[in-house]
Amino acid sequence: MLIRAVLAGLRRLGGRGWPAGVGPWGRFRRLRRGAAMRKRRAFDGRQAADGLREVGGAGLGRIGGRLAEVGRWRWLQRLATLREDWPDALRLIVSAVLAAVVSTLLHLPEMYWAVLSAIIVSRPGAAGAGAGGSGRAGASRLIGTVFGSAVAMAVIGARAWHVPEIALLAVAMVPLSLFITAFEEFRTAPVAAVIVLSSTTALVAPFHVALLRLLQITIGSLSSTVVGLSILPSRGHGRVFRAAASILTRVGASLESAFDEKRDNAKLELAHDAIRRDLRELGALVRAKRGAAHAQGRIVRLLSRLQQDSMFVGRVVGTGLRRSSAVEYAHAVHGICREVADAMLDPEGAWLERCRAGLDAASKKFAQARHGGHADRAAVGVDAASFAAEARPHAVDALDFLLETLGKDLHDLIRVLQGPR
């Protein structure tokens, strides 16, 4: 009886006391109507999709085929990278297992700290990892590990005064951040410091746990260094030129994108930031590589100059200067950059010679167009705005100078690639 009375009251409230559609039953009816509308929309959407497939099935099939082709190309590219860099995976596995075995034989608790240290030191993409774990790279990683552990050991003594952990972490990170900013090859230092600081504070002697962490970190680092020196140690040559080829291709693309009518300045700046970041990593890789040829250092410097030339050209063009001769030259340089990048991966003297001949021809054509005079440009149908823009000698001279400098730097890069690597 009580339930019936409550239901009757709710009906009266939903039908009379509240506005229509506000009471509990009104909300229930709205929910049912919403579910029915969603079903109807889903049915209409399926019908529309069927119609599109019937009407434009061929076009959609071509789009799907193109997407599938791009996906297959990316997978093939990943497989090619794996074919070249599989020794990194092998070294990583052996380093982790060796660190675990040594920690077990020494009866150390929590052996995974040693395994974690070995993985961090020998991971693919670490500073010097591409050099196959050479002696110089292993020494750099080991020095970084010891330095970070020493800083953490010096800071951990402040726990006796009940200093907050956040303050200890901040004090340890200040010198380590400055250290790895100046010396990028010692980037394992902050990781080692965090591992040492992770020792629990509940023990009577926190230095005992910190020393145990330091021993585990040392085991992991030494295991990685020994494995890097003994398992396929000379595999960094190909990675240097693959990274250089990727950077050169993007430099050429950013140069041509700078002359687009509707260019995105923010996207262009992000592209240059990514190129500079990859240049820093490439420089660290070359410095850590044992027996690296002098030409590889010159290649990194020339790539850095090409990136700066391309960035400054983009800034000058952003002021409103877009001459047809400069656009054609930028397009030609982009194509030559792609060809030179391919030659880095598959070096052939004849191929590089063709690249240099193409660059000389494009530079000569650009010089002739530049010295042709404003009358010749006006005769071929250049509008008044472009003619007035070219009448500004200082801006045009800056654009010409930057493009000539970029061509000379690219010419020097080709000449270095033609020599011993």
User: pTM of the predicted model, to two decimals?
Assistant: 0.56
Residue 297 and residue 187 in one domain: no
Instruction: List, in order, residues 6 or more apart from 140 with CB less than 8 Å away.
Output: 127, 128, 185, 186, 288
Report the distance separating Cα 115 and Cα 81, nearest Å.
Answer: 26
Report the distance separating Cα 252 and Cα 276, nearest Å.
Answer: 14
Residue-level pLDDT at 33: 56
How many domains does the chain contain in total?
A: 2
Could you tell me if residue 16 is inside a domain?
no
Residue 157 and residue 226 in one domain: yes
Confidence of residue 204 (pLDDT cuts 50, 70, 90): very low
Could you tell me if residue 66 is inside a domain?
no
Report the distance separating Cα 196 and Cα 420, nearest Å.
Answer: 46
Could you tell me if residue 110 is inside a domain?
yes
Which of 249, 243, 270, 224 lies closest to 93 in space, CA to CA?
224
Residue at which a domain ends, from 209, 230, 251:
230
Residue 267 and residue 195 in one domain: no
Residue 204 and residue 259 in one domain: no
Apex CA 133: angle with CA 130 and CA 136, to 5°? 105
CA 87 to chain centre: 22
Report the distance separating Cα 338 and Cα 332, nearest Å.
Answer: 10
pLDDT tens by residue, 396-415: 568 888 899 999 999 999 99
Could you tell me if residue 304 is inside a domain?
yes
User: What DSSP designation does 130 have?
Assistant: G
Could you tell me if residue 131 is inside a domain?
yes
152, 197 Cβ separation under 8 angstroms: yes
Q: What percent of the chain has pLDDT over 90?
A: 21
List helix spans (H) across 258-373: 265-288, 294-317, 324-345, 349-370
Residue at which a domain ends, from 198, 230, 262:
230
Residue with tokens 């970190």: 217
Report the distance separating Cα 297 and Cα 299, nearest Å.
Answer: 5
Report the distance separating Cα 385 and Cα 167, nearest Å.
Answer: 61
Residue-level pLDDT at 132: 43
pLDDT at 305 over 90: yes
Residue-level pLDDT at 381: 45
Residue 317 and residue 335 in one domain: yes
Residue 219 and residue 334 in one domain: no
117, 216 Cβ separation under 8 angstroms: yes
Could you tell me if residue 52 is inside a domain?
no
Residue 210 and residue 306 in one domain: no
pLDDT tens by residue, 345-368: 765 567 788 889 999 999 999 888
Residue 207 and residue 276 in one domain: no
pLDDT tens by residue, 37-81: 554 555 455 554 455 444 445 454 555 566 566 566 667 667 766
The domain in which residue 159 lies consists of: 85-230
Report the distance separating Cα 190 and Cα 173, nearest Å.
Answer: 7
pLDDT at 160 over 80: no
Residue 262 and residue 298 in one domain: yes
Could you tell me if residue 120 is inside a domain?
yes
Tokens of 222: 């030494």
pLDDT tens by residue, 206-223: 677 778 888 888 898 888
Of the given ranges (163-167, 246-250, 372-376), which has the lowest mean pLDDT? Answer: 372-376
Residue 259 and residue 321 in one domain: yes
Residue 178 and residue 140 in one domain: yes
Q: What's 309's domain CATH number?
A: 1.20.58.220
Could you tell me if residue 410 is inside a domain?
yes
Report the distance separating Cα 33 and Cα 27, nearest Å.
Answer: 10
Residue at which a domain ends, from 204, 230, 256:
230
Residue 166 and residue 268 in one domain: no
